[in-house]
Chain A
Amino acid sequence: MSTGFIENTAGPGAARYAQKRAAKGRPVQAHNPSTRRPGWLTYALLVVVFVVSVFPLYASAMYGSSTTQEISRSVGSLPTWFPTLTLLDNFGEVLSASQFNFWMAFANSVLVAVAVSASTVFFSTLAGFSFAKLTFRGRQALYLTVIATLAIPAQVGTIPMFVMMNDFGWIDSLLALTVPGLVGAFGVFWMTQYLQEALPFELVEAARVDGASMFRTFWSIALPAARPAAATLALFTFVGSWNSFFWPAVVMRSQLTMPLVIPQLRGAFTTDTGLVMSGVFLVAAPLLIVFAFAGKQLVSGVMAGAVKG
């Protein structure tokens, strides 16, 4: 068999190796990822990955299912392997805690996340439509500016942003969490990339010829065409907003969002680990429900972003 090709592409070492391998008479295994069914080792590895992925939340539910005594007796292992009714008792106590208002925090988080993702999707699609399908002077330079702003590390602006929020009177207000996030460079970039490919110029032209206004063209031609990418963008923005902790920790005081409940737990329940962990589970669980329905889309979003990015 020819080792010349291997030597040319992979070097003499690889060629020697291939020769040795062939000399031992080993059959050359075909690794064609698209057709060959993998063996049990692959699935064993994937099961390990799966267990690790879900373990922290599972562990928090198991701690939350236990009393302080049970937890202190279970040193070195989980206090229980199955959820118990204690979990529901603990949920009740977290939801009715006097030190923080869980439902208020939940409502705040939903409000901010929905507002931010809806607005991000709308304005990003609008800008993406303009960058991808309309011609205007300075388009290229402006688009490059958008991309360049992606590289600015967000936390550099923390202190001046805090001073600004203070001047606006937005400290401890949901406005401080919502307004700065109404549209971002990533969203504009994402939608522009998508619309460049997904929206044919002919469609835009046809709408214009039919006498549709620019906005009408956007609304009835570009927006429907952008739907898959818009859904993914909404999902990512929602997850990001829901989980964000640093900026809310800077500007919020008594008004809480879901991540801000977490630091309150130790203060409220001190050494009752079961109660604290049930609170952690309650805070983290809602997004898991979202994931159960939209996880597939999130996966394809991550993978699509990789090809373009």
Chain B
Amino acid sequence: MGWGQRLSRWDIKVSPYLYISPFFILFAIFGAFPLLFNVVVALHDWHRRAGMGDYVGLDNFTWVLQQPLFWRSLENTFSIFLWGGIPQLVLALLIAAVLDQNLRARTFWRMSVLVPFVVMPVATSMIFGQVFGQFGLLVPNLQDLGLLTHVESPFFQDRLLSHAAIGSMVVFRWTGYNSLILLAAMQAVPRELYEASTVDGASRVRQFFSVTIPSIRPTMIFVILTMTIGGLQIFDEVRMFDGGGTGGGKGGADNQWTTVVLYLYNLGFGDWQDRLGQAAAVGWIFAAVIAVFSLVNFLLTRSISSSSARTTRVSKAQRAAAIAKARAVAADSERRAREAGVATLLGRTTPYDDQRAPDDGGPSDDGGPSDDRGPSDDGDVAQPDAPKEGAHR
């Protein structure tokens, strides 16, 4: 075997592994190893300068679990997550539905919802801090309206209000991003489903809840899951909310808005604190919390959306039937449109209009809700405005 041939075989055998090795090497050093090393740090007395100290067993874990501040920061984290997550999901769905239309300047609108995604979160935090501040845009006006009686801005005093303010930053940053993800999913919904439900008289709101939402369920679960994992790790927004000047960045005078990651950061690197061992324990506990919460969230989301979809879920056969039906409608109306066009050319009215008129009139001439005819029944589906529809297809 020649030298060149041997080199070529070696090339084929080794190259695939060589090409994927950068990722695995880097992950081993900066991904997997720290994960294991975290156990070691969490089991020791550990400080920034002094490094590894005595082995302390699970003391760091029990210490953390006994800190009221840990539990407070955990509560804050979940509260901020809810303040940021729920409005975000509702607004993202709404914006996605609005964008899922035949818009003029489509690219411009899509870009405009993505602007917040590229605004640096710490910058957003400073600006929102100013807006929510005592002399900002919001508080004086709320005071004038008599909605606030506080002298100082309650957004930096009251626990829940500070969570709402920080939640609004989360909403600002992620709503547009998620709405584009949902929009992509909405556009993948077969348009025939809309046509079929239109033919059957569903309103647009009804269509949104009965066709759109069930169809984009997997994407919604994906969005909620990433939202959960990212949202619980919130740091930038809470760190800079009070401007981070002297004595700032600690999550409030009374830790009103300290989150777990900020707590971890302050424990390890904050002023006068140097508890790497305890901070590592917080890291582990928090990872477990995120894992459990994501799982619960996943199961909950799945069961909620499937139970709400119980009445609305469209089986494969039904969907196929619906599509077939819509196609029939389209074909029928296209034929009618064509014939109407011919008729117009010939200078007379469409013969079909007269023939079909009785059918178009009332809904009750073919049975009520107890009607059990299959979806493939398309005997009387022609609608007055169907030709216009069909002509576009």
With A2-B366, A76-B137, A267-B246 as contacts: A182 and B22 at CB distance below 8 Å: yes
Expressed in whole angstroms, the minimum distance between the Cβ of A119 and any Cβ of chain B is: 9
B15→A215 contact, CB < 8 A: yes
A1→B384 contact, CB < 8 A: no
Give the chain A neighbours of B118 by CB distance below 8 A.
239, 243, 287-288, 290-291, 298
B126→A280 contact, CB < 8 A: yes
A4→B283 contact, CB < 8 A: no
A139→B181 contact, CB < 8 A: no
Q: Does B70 contact A (CB under 8 A)?
A: no
Give the chain A neighbours of B389 by CB distance below 8 A.
30, 32, 35
Residues of B in contact, count (CB < 8 Å): 143
A284→B120 contact, CB < 8 A: yes
B131→A35 contact, CB < 8 A: no
Give the chain A neighbours of B124 by CB distance below 8 A.
56
Stretch at the interface among B81-89, B93-101, B299-307, B339-347: B93-101
Partner of B19, one of A179, A185, A218: A218
Query: What is the CA–CA distance of A36 and B194 in the complex, to the nearest angstrom?
Result: 12
A29→B180 contact, CB < 8 A: no
A49→B371 contact, CB < 8 A: no
Stretch at the interface among A90-98, A223-231, A301-309: A301-309
Give the chain B neighbours of A16 by CB distance below 8 A.
369
A33→B191 contact, CB < 8 A: yes
B201→A131 contact, CB < 8 A: no
Give the chain B neighbours of A146 by CB distance below 8 A.
23
Expressed in whole angstroms, the minimum distance between the Cβ of A149 and any Cβ of chain B is: 6
Partner of B287, one of A42, A153, A163: A153
With A38-B101, A127-B20, A161-B34 as contacts: A287 and B114 at CB distance below 8 Å: no
With A2-B200, A152-B31, A266-B243 as contacts: A245 and B235 at CB distance below 8 Å: yes
With A46-B98, A243-B120 as contacts: A164 and B37 at CB distance below 8 Å: yes
Expressed in whole angstroms, the minimum distance between the Cβ of A143 and any Cβ of chain B is: 9
Number of A-B contacts (CB under 8 A): 416
Query: What is the CA–CA distance of A15 and B76 in the complex, to the nearest angstrom?
Result: 45
Expressed in whole angstroms, the minimum distance between the Cβ of B363 and any Cβ of chain A is: 4
The residues in B between 275 and 292 inclusive whose CB is less than 8 angstroms from any CB of A are 276, 279-280, 283-284, 286-287, 290
Query: What is the CA–CA distance of A139 and B24 in the complex, to the nearest angstrom?
Result: 13
B115→A54 contact, CB < 8 A: yes
Give the chain A neighbours of B95 by CB distance below 8 A.
45, 49
Give the chain A neighbours of B384 by CB distance below 8 A.
27
A45→B199 contact, CB < 8 A: no
Stretch at the interface among A81-89, A99-107, A257-265: A257-265
Question: Looking across the interface, which residue of chain B has its beta carbon closest to that of A19?
Answer: B363
Q: Does A166 contact B (CB under 8 A)?
A: yes
Give the chain A neighbours of B176 by CB distance below 8 A.
49, 53
Q: Does A233 contact B (CB under 8 A)?
A: no
B185→A76 contact, CB < 8 A: no
A287→B243 contact, CB < 8 A: no
B204→A31 contact, CB < 8 A: yes
Question: Looking across the interface, which residue of chain B has its beta carbon closest to that of A158?
Answer: B283
With A156-B283, A266-B244 as contacts: A136 and B314 at CB distance below 8 Å: no
Query: What is the CA–CA distance of A218 and B240 in the complex, to the nearest angstrom?
Result: 45
Query: What is the CA–CA distance of A272 and B121 in the complex, to the nearest angstrom?
Result: 21
Q: Does A9 contact B (CB under 8 A)?
A: yes
Query: What is the CA–CA distance of A159 and B94 in the complex, to the nearest angstrom?
Result: 40
Q: Does A190 contact B (CB under 8 A)?
A: no
Give the chain B neighbours of A127 by CB distance below 8 A.
19-20, 22-23
Q: Does B381 contact A (CB under 8 A)?
A: yes
Stretch at the interface among B61-69, B103-111, B159-167: B103-111
A78→B380 contact, CB < 8 A: no
A1→B107 contact, CB < 8 A: no
With A59-B131, A155-B283, A303-B183 as contacts: A246 and B236 at CB distance below 8 Å: yes
Expressed in whole angstroms, the minimum distance between the Cβ of B341 and any Cβ of chain A is: 18
Question: Looking across the interface, which residue of chain B has its beta carbon closest to that of A251?
Answer: B269
Expressed in whole angstroms, the minimum distance between the Cβ of B243 and any Cβ of chain A is: 5
Q: Does B348 contact A (CB under 8 A)?
A: no
- Chain B residues with a Cβ under 8 A of chain A: 8, 11-13, 15-17, 19-20, 22-24, 26-27, 30-31, 33-35, 37-38, 40-41, 46, 48, 51, 94-95, 98-104, 107, 109-124, 126-128, 130-131, 135, 137, 140-141, 144, 172, 176-177, 180-188, 191, 194-204, 206-207, 210, 219, 222, 229, 233, 235-236, 239-240, 243-246, 248-249, 261, 264-265, 268-269, 276, 279-280, 283-284, 286-287, 290, 311-312, 314, 318, 322, 325, 362-364, 366-369, 371-375, 377, 380-381, 383-385, 388-389, 392
Other A-B pairs, 15, CB within 8 Å; known A30-B385, A249-B239: A1-B380, A4-B372, A11-B311, A37-B104, A50-B113, A146-B23, A164-B37, A179-B30, A213-B11, A258-B120, A270-B245, A288-B115, A296-B111, A299-B111, A303-B181
Ordered by A's residue number, 24 sampled pairs between the chains whose C-beta atoms are within 8 Å are A1-B366, A9-B375, A16-B369, A28-B198, A32-B191, A32-B389, A33-B187, A34-B102, A45-B98, A52-B172, A56-B116, A75-B135, A126-B20, A157-B38, A160-B280, A162-B48, A163-B37, A214-B12, A250-B265, A259-B236, A266-B244, A266-B246, A302-B114, A302-B177
